[in-house]
Amino acid sequence: MRRRTCPCSSNQPAALCCGKYHRGLPAPNPEALMRSRFSAYARGLVDYVIDTTLPESPQAKPERASWRRELLAYCKATDFVELRVLHTEWEPGQSEGFVTFKATLIQDRQPFSFTERSRFELKTLPGQKGDPRWYYAEGEELEEGV
Ligand SMILES: [Zn+2]
């Protein structure tokens, strides 16, 4: 059987890369969370995408069921071809970080790329057990051609 490499383009086996975060291990830094969210989109793990989005994020939807359906439809219609992490702004100890990345996707057989600078927060949400976790807060799309 062929060993599956991680969809986040790390060239590592999925189980040793983002898979461990999908199974519940907290992502230790903004880049790990960003990569694991890309992999989750690629694998249609929409609950992981939802659970790692801050509830107050502009991307968050008030209704989980319709948000799930929307994400599933998006994942089904999209091939997540490649991720390139261009830049990370975060130092250990900081509870906010930024990751700039370029994603290459295919929709309707048309490949396209976008570059985004995402903001992440280390937080304990109401009802959450254990240590604070990293969450996706929001993203800003940057000019093409990075
Ligand atoms: Zn990965």
- For each of the domains in the chain, give its residue range(s) and CATH number, in order of start: 14-142 (3.10.450.50)
- Cα of 82 vs centre of ligand 1, distance in Å, is 11
Residue 4 confidence (pLDDT) = 82
Residue 2 confidence (pLDDT) = 57
- Cα of 131 vs centre of ligand 1, distance in Å, is 23
Confidence of residue 27 (pLDDT cuts 50, 70, 90): very high
Residue 146 confidence (pLDDT) = 46
Is the pLDDT at 3 greater than 80? The verdict is no
pLDDT, tens digit, 9 for 90 and up, residues 77-131: 999 999 999 999 999 999 999 999 999 999 999 999 999 999 999 999 998 888 9
Residue 129 confidence (pLDDT) = 86
Burial state string for 25-55 with b = 16 or more CB within 10 A and e = fewer than 16: eebebbbbbbbbbbbbbbbbbbebbbebbbe
